[in-house]
Amino acid sequence: MRRRLALALLVACAVAPAAAAQSGQVAHGKELFGRYCLSCHGANGAGIQPPGTGKGYGPSLQGVGALAADFYLRTGYMPLRRVPEQPRRSRLLLSPGDIDALVAYVASLASGPAVPDPHPEQGSLAEGQKLFTDHCSGCHQVVAAGGYLTGAVAPSLDRATARQVAEAVRIGPYVMPRFTEKDLSPHQVDSLVRYIEYAKHPDDRGGWAIGRVGPVPEGLVTWFLGASTLVGVCIVIGKRLSRG
């Protein structure tokens, strides 16, 4: 009996400081939320909808969990500089500790998804390439270099971490579609992340990448070089014929 009591006391002593630290982190996150997020997302992250617009000025964050908060803050997408511009990757305004606190506060608003932990080494590169070609290349190009859409820009993924890619798949930021686990299983996400990691430093043996800007401009460069060579040959032949 005494051993059980002692064990319970040890557990309580270990849990209490952790709970206090978590509570302090959430409190700090709430302070940061009031400073950087309240004007758009409203009190308690309930969102703000300007009268007569029918559109939210800042969507509700209740139920988005740590997943969305972690993605938007660690990519520099948020805090947004101007509304309603497209969120883009930029310099982080908050320190890693402040981001941890803000993520903890948003996650405390309501039950929501946690931050994913992808394992690209367990994925299939071939499957990832096929998945990326089918679901992502229409906007991001097959080399993950990004592209332009009507009213939006699909960013290059060269700076996206494995976790950020997995987060974006589940969130669907801005105009990107959202993929649930029914659409893409965790293993398929691992494969997708593995291909994107490969696309950052692909094996170019047997080819000339030219910055990997895509097949059309690379083909134009090839035609330009070929046409220049052909013109040069014609000039040389013409001079020889004129002398003869």
**81 DSSP 8-state letter:** S
Which of 57 and 44 is assigned the larger pLDDT? 44
Per-residue CA distances from 120 to 4, 105, 124, 145 (Å)? 43, 29, 8, 19
Q: How confident is the model at residue 8 (pLDDT cuts 50, 70, 90)?
A: very low
Lowest mean pLDDT among 4-8, 63-67, 91-95: 4-8
**181 DSSP 8-state letter:** T
Q: What is the C-alpha separation between 89 and 66, in angstroms, rounded?
A: 19
**147 DSSP 8-state letter:** E
Is pLDDT of 225 > 50? yes
Q: How confident is the model at residue 11 (pLDDT cuts 50, 70, 90)?
A: very low
Q: What is the C-alpha separation between 170 and 202, in angstroms, rounded?
A: 26
Is pLDDT of 73 > 70? yes
- Average pLDDT (149-177) is 94
Q: What is the C-alpha separation between 118 and 162, in angstroms, rounded?
A: 7
Q: Are 28 and 21 in contact (CB under 8 A)?
A: no
Q: What is the C-alpha separation between 196 and 193, in angstroms, rounded?
A: 5
To the question of pTM greater than 0.85 for the whole model, the response is no
pLDDT value of position 219: 67
Q: What is the C-alpha separation between 161 and 126, in angstroms, rounded?
A: 20
Q: Are 65 and 72 in contact (CB under 8 A)?
A: no
Name residue 216's amino acid: V
Three-state DSSP at 122 gives: helix
Q: How confident is the model at residue 143 (pLDDT cuts 50, 70, 90)?
A: confident
Is pLDDT of 218 > 80? no
Which among 93, 90, 84, 103 has a CA at the least distance from the CA of 40?
Answer: 84
pLDDT value of position 97: 96
- Residue 148 dihedral angles phi and psi, to the nearest 5°: -110, 135
Which of 178 and 214 is assigned the larger pLDDT? 178
Is pLDDT of 171 > 90? yes
pLDDT value of position 181: 95
Per-residue CA distances from 227 to 200, 221, 224, 231, 234 (Å)? 32, 10, 5, 6, 10
Is pLDDT of 12 > 50? no
Is pLDDT of 104 > 70? yes
Domains of the chain: 24-115 (1.10.760.10), 117-204 (1.10.760.10)
